[in-house]
Amino acid sequence: MSHKYNNRLIPLAKQLRKDMTAQERRLWYQYLRMHPIRFQRQKVIGNYIVDFYCHRAKLVIEIDGSQHYTDEGQRYDEKRDEVLKSLGLSICRVANNDVNERFSAVCQHIDCVVLQRVSDSLSQLR
């Protein structure tokens, strides 16, 4: 199932792909790009652009910098997460510091979440 999206966000998503943060770039080029289950980067879903998206696992991965820890940032993220969850998506938030300092653990966590989400969806088909 494909999600509806705001066409006007496509140019911004393309620009964000070119201007990824160091942490997004590291996670993409050193892990997600080669993941056996396909991920997309800077994917437009509804009126939002998510950092990384795995359709098969119905999983959004967000890499959070300092702006996400302000009161305003947290309110925005809560609203955004609510909308994404209403579409049946799960959101995995990873702090920039974790990508920098605990990269292997971040990758292992993502792997576990992906495998769990994929196996859950397969068991629902049975």
Q: Is residue 54 included in any domain, yes or no?
A: yes
The count of structural domains within the chain is 1
Which residue is listed with tokens 């579409």?
A: 87
Question: What predicted TM-score, i.e. pTM, was given to this entire model?
Answer: 0.87
User: Mean pLDDT throughout 80-91?
Assistant: 94
Question: What pLDDT score was predicted for residue 31?
Answer: 97
Cβ–Cβ under 8 Å, residues 77 and 69? no
Looking up tokens 């991920």, which residue turns up?
A: 39
The domain of 70 spans 7-125
Cβ-count burial of 99 within 10 angstroms (0-12 exposed, 13-18 middle, 19+ buried)?
A: buried
35 C-beta neighbours (distance < 10 Å), count: 15
Q: How far is 126 from 116, CA to CA, in rounded Å?
A: 16
Assess if residue 2 is contained within a domain.
Answer: no
Assigned domain for 82 exists: yes
Query: Where residue 66 falls among pLDDT bands split at 50, 70, 90?
Result: low
| Residue 76 forms part of a structural domain | yes
CATH number at residue 14: 3.40.960.10
